[in-house]
Structure 1
């Protein structure tokens, strides 16, 4: 039975690969960058402690990827087979956990680094390092599998943690120049990491039974979580908690409820949440570059880019509604009221972030007048982005994948309509503010320039609101025909 189930997993896994080659592309990118990292760190190892740093960094990177971008390659689950008379799925599930792209990559990197570590240590310690590397690989694979099996009620929280981890990884990578990268303090990092669950498995090879106990405890905890998930899975039931949709200071009427519901749902839908996380990613990366290099223009550019990206979350509101849009079609409420409520709910976070970012820049740089000018112009860019998102949401809707779909299995983002939306925000969002910016930069007309940079986007925004308001009722059946089913 174990052999049959494992063959089933391999067959389904290969069908997934052929149906969605993005999985292979992502695995290829991890392979290339992983090998480059391994190669670059081999020339920096100057002590036994330095050998532990890549082990810790590799485990952290794999776990962050599993949190933020689950691969969903596991096809043998207890919940799927619970209605069949199969007594023990655990052996097949353990084998199938090894037959996934990230598990294979983990094993490959482990073999490479364990072999290198063996050559850098005395024979006895080298053997201990190989044993520890196997233990570290097993720990990584088990926790990747545990994360993949976490219930939907916790996936949103883990997605946020993974998103923050991705930001940290980008922050770390961008702010290390090529020269600094060749002088990373691997010895210091390894000495500290060897006392943590991320590198304790190899840390004991260079001394310390306590490190071995930490590694064993970490592996045992992962195995217990993995085992417990299988034992509990057949009796799990989906909880349906009722939530009060109202938000303080928001009117208790249909449009207010739609506004409040949309805000609450941002933090429950990782598809929308990842759109929000793009803004802090841009800000953190560019801000650190600006401060470290002493170039405020980089921060000003980040402020304008945030304005361009501000409408990304609201660019396809109807698509994210999907089949549920039928409820709005039959509700006794004017359609444009619901459209605007949802649109403004999705724009309030980018707008608040834009204002907060501008205020931070005012206190950060001495040239207050320039910072205020850029901040006001960026608000014009944000208004243009919001206007474009509202227009595209009504006239360029496209279906998306259902909630909870892995980014690697999401095929909805590759449509022509999605490309049009991204192109419109990135390449058209700055045009309405260009005349005002030209008055400020080339003619020194700061007051008039700011007024123009705000007035034109505001006029466009109001005009699009009127257009959408007028055509909303007539277009709803057409929109529903496009987005009434999820992309699978």
Structure 2
């Protein structure tokens, strides 16, 4: 059964590459990037193996700990886990859970991240080639380390998906998932404030990390090389116990998910029609009300909004009172403006109501823009004003507002066009929000890259004016930036809504057919 699951993973991956050219392009780019990173690691380990003084243990523990932490945390806050073999699809099959777990774990190694991780782990084991006993132990520990990475990633995401089946936990998990990023902030802040990082300081950090689930497995070969077999046995025990614990967590979470599939709870309390009661009974009013309901109740939108204040906190910690804080407003404007680029995909099969109804594409585009603007405009305004005051540069407020609103309006216009052209698989309501749908990674990354480049190019006028105003301390130029940002952004938004509307009138049925195929 395990071999069958691995073959299934390979077959699905091969079929996905045959079906989509973009999948092939994305795989090639990811492979080149991964091989480049692996080459750097291998070369660094080769140099490290003959380095004097001997810092092999220090480097491998710190580097390996970051690798394990990345596997455990990144799927929660970024790309998610590959769902080529989704456990939910095996609910109706009588597969022993142990076989299912083993097959899914091995399947998790198949792919660019898994291959690069295996290569990096073996390279870090090979650094002990001058000590045969440490080399042998290092190879064994590298296998345990890869297992810790893969199984730990499955455990964290499975446990998180179990928690977020309740609405109240979704926002909490959004904050918990980004805590590691917030922790990085004080470290960077202390470095930039003049704290000297010495080898002794790094050694203290490595010694502490070597007793944690992230670093214990990497410290065992160093202990063997030093002849400290007691410490090696203790840390090896921590490594094995870590795998046992994360495997148990994954097993329990998977068992719960297979018996209790995720579903949306329906409240018995009468809520009325919500925004549909408050807005006009027109096509535009209906679209706006529906999208405002999404922003208020859909956890996928809640997670996106939660990133904005967290980003503000991180930038403040990185550079309290510095110029980096002033970037909070423009960055938040782009994130919230570009957030509706996946609106049609988030509609799911319910998008049929937009296609079947006598609804013009322009009304659809404008309704989504208004709903996003209701959330984004006050949020961006508050962030801009607060960042300028925190940085003690209130004279930059007009320039920052001009730049931020220009970026926001331009992003909304670009999203209106892109979402009428491209849809890709997204998580359905009630599904694991920390999992990437098959075929979604490449399309989402390409669309994000194209959107970022397009918005940057179209916002160059207000960007240049804002930079000149902030650098030169010119309030007059700041007000000019505000006018240019509002006028140019409004023009681009109008063009984006109209072009996107006409495009949606033409592509609506084909978009719906793709969404149905994804389901």
Contact 1:290–1:299 (8 Å) recurs in 2: yes
Task: Confirm or deny that 1:314 pairs with 2:340.
Answer: yes
TM-score by length of 1: 0.72
Give the match for residue 111 of structure 1.
122
Contact 2:82–2:437 (8 Å) recurs in 1: no
**What CA RMSD, in Å, does the superposition of the two structures yield over aligned residues?**
5.1
Instruction: Report the Cα offset of residue 355 of structure 1.
Output: 2.5
Deviations 1:324-360 (A, max 9, x none): 2222455699987765453233234443443333233
Give the match for residue 354 of structure 1.
380
Deviations 1:139-190 (A, max 9, x none): 222223445656856577777765665787799899989xx99969542221
Deviations 1:362-411 (A, max 9, x none): 33334432x2232332344245326624xx61697123112227277325
2:265 maps to which of 222, 225, 241: 241
Task: Confirm or deny that 1:69 pairs with 2:79.
Answer: yes
Other structure's SS at 1:264 match: helix
**CA–CA separation in structure 2 for the residues paired with 1:174 and 1:28:** 33
Instruction: Report the Cα offset of residue 72 of structure 1.
Output: 1.8
Instruction: Report the Cα offset of residue 445 of structure 1.
Output: 3.6
**CA–CA separation in structure 2 for the residues paired with 1:197 and 1:257:** 48
Instruction: Report the Cα offset of residue 5 of structure 1.
Output: 4.7
Give the match for residue 401 of structure 2.
376
357-366 or 200-209: bigger deviation: 200-209
**CA–CA separation in structure 1 for the residues paired with 2:476 and 2:144:** 67
Change (3 A) 1:423 1:99: closer
Contact 1:436–1:452 (8 Å) recurs in 2: no
Contact 2:56–2:127 (8 Å) recurs in 1: no
Give the match for residue 456 of structure 1.
487
Instruction: Report the Cα offset of residue 110 of structure 1.
Output: 1.8
**CA–CA separation in structure 2 for the residues paired with 1:485 and 1:152:** 29
Give the match for residue 26 of structure 1.
30
1:218 maps to which of 234, 237, 242: 242
Instruction: Report the Cα offset of residue 241 of structure 1.
Output: 1.0
Change (3 A) 1:141 1:264: same
Contact 2:108–2:114 (8 Å) recurs in 1: yes
The correspondence of residues 65-214 of structure 1 with structure 2, limited to 5 A, is 65-67=74-76, 68-72=78-82, 75=85, 77=87, 79-80=89-90, 82-83=92-93, 89-90=99-100, 92-93=103-104, 95-117=106-128, 119=130, 128-147=137-156, 165=180, 185-203=201-219, 205=223, 208=231, 211-214=235-238
Gaps of 5+ in 2: 165-169, 280-284, 428-434
TM-score by length of 2: 0.69
126-135 or 327-336: bigger deviation: 327-336
The correspondence of residues 189-338 of structure 1 with structure 2, limited to 5 A, is 189-203=205-219, 205=223, 208=231, 211-229=235-253, 231-232=255-256, 234-242=258-266, 252-253=277-278, 255=285, 257-264=289-296, 267-268=299-300, 273=303, 277=307, 284=314, 296=323, 299-300=325-326, 303-304=329-330, 306-308=332-334, 310-315=336-341, 317-318=343-344, 320-328=346-354
2:456 maps to which of 426, 443, 452: 426
Change (3 A) 1:152 1:347: farther
Q: How many residues align?
A: 471
Change (3 A) 1:325 1:170: farther
70-79 or 343-352: bigger deviation: 70-79
Deviations 1:414-433 (A, max 9, x none): 88x88775554222235478
Change (3 A) 1:65 1:461: closer
Instruction: Report the Cα offset of residue 222 of structure 1.
Output: 1.8
**CA–CA separation in structure 2 for the residues paired with 1:187 and 1:247:** 61
Change (3 A) 1:56 1:387: closer
Contact 2:213–2:238 (8 Å) recurs in 1: yes
Other structure's SS at 1:355 match: helix
